[in-house]
Structure 1
Amino acid sequence: MTDFLAATGPTGAARQTASSVSSSSGVQEVDIIMKGGYSPDVIEVERGKPVQLRFYRDEENSRSEELLMPDFSIRRDLPAFQTTLVELLLQQAGTFVFTCGMGMLRGSLVVK
């Protein structure tokens, strides 16, 4: 499960921020739906705890078939109508961008 908060981005467009929910094993879990963009597009997690991002691609648009997280050297194919897991253990606080393969669709991982 993910808690959603409404926020406004720099263009005035509504953005969704999600804070991770820790499972019983202590893993921070976040579900992200990819359909014309990332929802939520801002994800907040705590540093030093394992993170599991579950990207579900709910479309066949070629723009969304790849996920890039350059700060972590991660590149993943996102098959249509399937969930792709990305697991991280983040030791450094900061804001890290993730994008589609073309760089047009963007999201942020905020580590506190």
Structure 2
Amino acid sequence: MDAPEIIVTLAGLALAAFVVWYFFFSTRQVVSAVSSSGGVQEVAINVKGGYTPDVIEVECGKPVQLHFYRDEENSCSEEVLFPDFSVRRELPAFKTTLVELLPEKVGTYAFTCGMGMLRGSLVVK
């Protein structure tokens, strides 16, 4: 191997290591839902190349309202799926869409875009 091949190989390995770290080991922003006076837990989620926040903590047995604001026109983020709750919602661009859930079991529940590329988690405690 000559020098350019070694440099390209090392750069490729470094990039692959970064991708693995980012998707599997980097810390995610965790947000706890805020309870309103009526006992409903609410969280605002921005959708732009992903979900912000992407990990949401809620209490078991209390209704949850997730306010998804889609701040882009990317086709991947056109809908959000909560397979464990049998919920699928269209997310119109530059509008807020309400998703209401009632988590009745403790656990971690995934939510994704329609293509499965954008991911988040609802942690029920």
Instruction: Name structure 2 gaps, 5 residues minimum.
Output: 1-20
Matched, 1:108 2:121: yes
Pairwise CA distance, 1:14:
4.3
**Aligned residue for 1:60?**
73
Instruction: Name structure 1 gaps, 5 residues minimum.
Output: 1-7
Q: 1:101 to 1:86 in 2, by over 3 A?
A: same
Range 46-55 or range 11-20, more displaced = 11-20
Pairwise CA distance, 1:55:
0.5
**Aligned residue for 1:17?**
30
Query: For 2:100, which of 87, 95, 110 is the aligned residue?
Result: 87
Matched, 1:98 2:111: yes
- Contact 1:67 / 1:100 at 8 angstroms: preserved in 2? yes
**Aligned residue for 2:43?**
30
Alignment root-mean-square deviation, CA: 1.5
Number of residue pairs aligned between Structure 1 and Structure 2? 105
Range 47-56 or range 8-17, more displaced = 8-17
The code of the aligned residue for 2:102 comes to: L
Q: Distance in 2 between matches of 1:32 and 1:99?
A: 13
- Which one has a larger percent strand, Structure 1 or Structure 2? 1
* TM-score normalised according to structure 2 size: 0.79
Secondary structure at 1:63 match in 2 = helix
Q: Distance in 2 between matches of 1:9 and 1:85?
A: 29
**Aligned residue for 2:86?**
73
- Which one has a larger percent helix, Structure 1 or Structure 2? 2
Secondary structure at 2:109 match in 1 = strand
CA deviations on 1:71-110 (whole Å, 9 max, x unpaired) are 0111110000001101111110000000000000100000
Pairwise CA distance, 1:10:
5.7
Percent identical among aligned pairs is: 72
The code of the aligned residue for 1:111 comes to: V
